[in-house]
């Protein structure tokens, strides 16, 4: 499970603080230094750690004026609250249009991040909420992407619109939209092509789809295991294509967790969902406060 090592380290810091009873300023300083090291080792981006420590320190210095909590508890409370702030103090929702209006969601991301799997997971989630989603297979480059989407769509009981791999993705997206309109689907999710690395062709293709179709939500899928790379990818997609939110996959693995803590602060875009396994039911809404509690253990 992600964060294990970070959780262990933070718990250790806090255990030592609690043991001390009365704390000197030096004790708090030393503890905060250890918190900083733990975050850096968890692959949280340096810029984010610096800002985070500044906020915590500012609050911790004046903390002894507050009654009811001992200094150790106070530091823990502040770290907890600042972790929540870092990930976005409110739970972000995928914005859907009301009623029969079609919401177009474009899924983007690098190959292997989990985009196709997440697309099917998301369709299942929306279906269970009473929506009528249609999936469109716009990844015409990766061998087997279309079949994978069809197989997963079938498992979810969700229709998949495909035109094979000989058409260009813009035409597929447009035709899928017409199909959705005719058959009264109210969500269209486009599974677009990823690449191994960010390249101009991919960015242009995504921009072309956005030009041809009114995309309501662009959702970036990134792999938590790739740590700071995931954050860099999110930053670049944000700049070049524009994104509305992020799905962080493979948080069930042994990712150090830094991406979860950095993405919001670096890109300004919220994490919407987290992938917690390979099964199609393993997609969870992202709650910053629950994640902070989990990190603190
Ligand atoms: P794409 O190239 O981005 O479309 O990636 P895929 O959807 O094909 O996923 C790549 C691999 O990651 C597959 O083996 C998926 O089963 C796996 N995967 C996707 N999401 C998760 C997740 O949340 N947890 C785990 N453990 N594996 C995942």
| Residue 252: alpha-carbon gap to chain centroid | 13
Q: Which range in 25-29, 86-90, 132-136, 253-257 is most confidently predicted, on average pLDDT?
A: 132-136
Cite the DSSP H helix spans in 88-227.
Answer: 115-128, 145-156, 169-182, 200-212
| Residue 204: alpha-carbon gap to chain centroid | 23
Report the pLDDT value the prediction gives residue 18, as an integer from 0 to 100: 81
With a cut of 60, say whether residue 144 has pLDDT above it.
Answer: yes
- Return the residue matching tokens 């196709």: 116
pLDDT in tens, 80-100: 999 999 999 888 999 999 989
Mean pLDDT within 18-40: 86
Report the pLDDT value the prediction gives residue 62, as an integer from 0 to 100: 66
Burial of residue 291, with CB atoms counted within 10 A of its CB: 0-12 exposed, 13-18 middle, 19 or more buried: buried
Report the pLDDT value the prediction gives residue 64, as an integer from 0 to 100: 58
Q: Which atom of ligand 1 is nearest to the CA of 145?
A: 4
Concatenate the DSSP letters of all residues of 88-100 into one string.
-SS-------STT
**CB 4 less than 6 A from any atom of ligand 1:** no
The Cα 243–Cα 239 span in angstroms is 8
Distance 114 CA to ligand 1 centre (A): 4
**CB 103 less than 6 A from any atom of ligand 1:** no
Report the pLDDT value the prediction gives residue 91, as an integer from 0 to 100: 87
**CB 233 less than 6 A from any atom of ligand 1:** no
Report the pLDDT value the prediction gives residue 197, as an integer from 0 to 100: 83
Distance 63 CA to ligand 1 centre (A): 44
With a cut of 90, say whether residue 219 has pLDDT above it.
Answer: yes
**CB 113 less than 6 A from any atom of ligand 1:** yes
With a cut of 80, say whether residue 61 has pLDDT above it.
Answer: no
Whether residue 109 is annotated as binding a ligand: the answer is yes
% helix, strand, coil for the chain, step of 5: 55, 15, 35
With a cut of 90, say whether residue 27 has pLDDT above it.
Answer: no
Whether residue 110 is annotated as binding a ligand: the answer is yes
With a cut of 70, say whether residue 56 has pLDDT above it.
Answer: yes
Q: Going by CA atoms, what residue is nearest to atom 27 of ligand 1?
A: 278
**CB 253 less than 6 A from any atom of ligand 1:** yes
Mean pLDDT of the chain: 92
Whether residue 249 is annotated as binding a ligand: the answer is yes
pLDDT in tens, 2-20: 788 999 999 999 988 888 7
Choose the weakest-confidence range: 69-73, 163-167, 242-246, 282-286: 69-73
Q: Which atom of ligand 1 is nearest to the CA of 139?
A: 4
Q: What percent of the chain has pLDDT over 90?
A: 78
Distance 260 CA to ligand 1 centre (A): 17
Report the pLDDT value the prediction gives residue 147, as an integer from 0 to 100: 97
Report the pLDDT value the prediction gives residue 220, as an integer from 0 to 100: 98
The Cα 148–Cα 135 span in angstroms is 12
Pocket of ligand 1, candidates 278, 280, 281, 286: which has the most ligand atoms within 8 Å of its Cβ, to mutate?
Answer: 278
**CB 275 less than 6 A from any atom of ligand 1:** yes
Whether residue 218 is annotated as binding a ligand: the answer is no
Question: Residue 66 — pLDDT band, cuts 50, 70, 90?
Answer: low
Report the pLDDT value the prediction gives residue 1, as an integer from 0 to 100: 67
Report the pLDDT value the prediction gives residue 68, as an integer from 0 to 100: 61
The whole model's pTM is what?
0.94
The Cα 193–Cα 24 span in angstroms is 56
pLDDT in tens, 276-285: 999 999 999 9
Angstrom CA distances, 125 to 88, 122, 233, 278, stand at: 22, 5, 25, 15
């Amino acid at each position: 499970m992600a964060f294990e090592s970070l959780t262990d380290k933070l718990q250790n810091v806090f255990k030592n603080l609690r043991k001390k009873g009365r704390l000197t300023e030096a004790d708090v300083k030393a503890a905060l230094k250890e918190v900083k090291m733990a975050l850096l080792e968890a692959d949280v981006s340096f810029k984010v750690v610096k800002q985070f420590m500044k906020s915590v320190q500012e609050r911790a210095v004046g903390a002894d004026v507050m009654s009811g909590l001992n200094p150790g508890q106070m530091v823990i409370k502040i770290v907890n609250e600042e972790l929540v702030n870092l990930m976005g103090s409110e739970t972000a929702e995928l914005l859907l249009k009301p009623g029969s209006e079609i919401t177009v969601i474009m899924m983007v991301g690098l190959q292997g991040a989990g985009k196709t799997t997440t697309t099917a997971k998301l369709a299942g989630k929306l279906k269970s909420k009473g929506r009528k989603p249609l999936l469109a297979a716009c990844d015409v480059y990766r061998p087997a992407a279309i079949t994978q989407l069809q197989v997963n769509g079938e498992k979810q009981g969700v229709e998949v619109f495909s035109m094979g791999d000989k058409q260009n993705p813009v035409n597929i997206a447009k035709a899928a939209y017409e199909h959705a309109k005719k058959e009264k689907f109210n969500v269209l999710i486009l599974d677009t092509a990823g690449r191994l690395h960010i390249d101009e062709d991919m960015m242009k293709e995504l921009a072309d789809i956005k030009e041809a179709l009114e995309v309501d939500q662009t959702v970036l899928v990134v792999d938590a295991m790739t740590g700071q790379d995931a954050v860099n990818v999110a930053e670049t997609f944000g700049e070049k294509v524009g994104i509305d939110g992020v799905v962080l996959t493979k948080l069930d693995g042994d990712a150090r967790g830094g991406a979860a803590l950095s993405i919001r602060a670096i890109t300004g875009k919220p994490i919407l969902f987290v992938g917690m396994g390979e099964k199609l039911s393993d997609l969870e809404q992202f709650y910053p406060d629950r994640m902070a509690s989990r990190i603190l253990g």
